[in-house]
Amino acid sequence: MRLYPLIFLSLLLSCSSVKKTDAQAGSQLLKDVEVLSSDAYEGRKTGTKGGEKARVYIASRFKEIGLKTLPTFSGYEMPFTYTGKKGTAIEGKNMLAYVEGKSKNIIVISAHYDHIGIINNEIYNGADDNASGIATLLKLASHYTKNKPDHTLIFAAFDAEEAGLQGAKAFIKNPPVQLENIKLNINMDMVSHNDKGELYACGTFKYPQLKPSVFSKNSKVKIILGHDDPKLGSNDWTNQSDHSAFNDKDIPFIYFGVEDHKDYHKATDEFKNINPAFFTNASEAILEITQRLDHQLYLKSVINEKKTIN
């Protein structure tokens, strides 16, 4: 008879532990956005002290999570140079890390950390654009350091997206790994601010083989496929964020983002104006879909290898 109370107590403690872990993960997700979009980071414009401060924070989180540095680098930074509007050379720095998987095939999970800085003495903090993407990237990285993926995962926090996708282009131009080994790019740019609970997943128009994996069981967020048909003109998001550089090399991509809102590229894109509940659910859905894509693409590669051998 004493066994039942003990079992009941054990279950309560177990449930309490799970809830606590989930709460901590959600708290960290929001904390990462709040920190990166605070005034201290001065809008994280490429080549500024605010941008450097953002890199220090990202590096500290990479290290805390337990991410490895790529063999071709001594640290997490990948410096690159591009020409600015006035013809001056500007140095940017991507932040790269990885988790080794069962396969040498690679999925690049990306988000840009830069924003547009200070304009007319106003700080443009870029909470949704794109501290939210970086926070989600860190959430995914934390998950995969504890749960071995099928693919090797490169986590890429790109710089200079706002200057014309310069960080992603530099990554593709001078890749730290063989491009043919990159089987997918999952890119996140603005995933925390939507009043209707809608998160778009762009990319299945050109890469329909990905479509069966792009859905969520979370009823609190609506995953909508679209914004990827060239006939849509300016509503085609295929070239509007860092995934474009991968697509240019015919590397399949899924881009997660929300439609433009009233705070887009305004000083009001602040932490207090994101939708915390939506953001938490959206990040969970992105993780769920990433897990499914990782596993399904891996299974297909294994099947194809067996067919080749036979």
Mind listing the pLDDT tens digit of every residue in the chain (310 residues)?
Answer: 333 343 333 434 444 444 444 555 679 999 999 999 999 999 999 999 999 999 999 999 999 999 999 998 989 999 999 998 888 999 999 999 999 999 999 999 999 999 999 999 999 999 999 999 999 999 999 999 999 999 999 999 999 999 999 999 999 999 999 999 999 999 999 999 999 999 999 999 999 999 999 999 999 999 999 999 999 998 999 999 999 999 999 999 999 999 999 999 999 999 999 999 999 999 999 999 999 999 999 998 877 766 655 5
d(CA 266, CA 277): 22
Give pLDDT tens digits for 18-35. Answer: 444 455 567 999 999 999
Q: Domains of the chain by range and CATH?
A: 17-309 (3.40.630.10)
Six-digit token pair at 66?
């337990």
DSSP 42-60: GGG-TTSHHHHHHHHHHHH
Q: Which secondary structure element, helix H or strand E, spans residue 298, and what is its range?
A: helix 276-309
Residue 107 sits at the vertex; the CA angle it makes with 106 and 112, to the nearest 5 degrees, is 130
Dist CA 99 CA 148 (whole Å): 8
